[in-house]
Structure 1
Amino acid sequence: MRTAYLIVTVVAALWVGFSAFSLLRRAPFVVEPLVTYGVPETWWTPLGLAKAAGSSVCWSAYSSRRSASPPPSA
Structure 2
Amino acid sequence: MSVLTIQSRPRPWVKWYRDEVETDTPATALPGGGVRGVLRVGPLTRADVRAALSCRASNHPRAHPIETTLTLDMNCELT
Q: What TM-score results when the alignment is normalised by the length of structure 1?
A: 0.26
Which is richer in helix? 1
Which is richer in strand? 2
Greater RCO (Cα-Cα under 8 Å, separation 6 or more): 1
Larger of the two Rg values belongs to structure: 1
Q: What TM-score results when the alignment is normalised by the length of structure 2?
A: 0.25
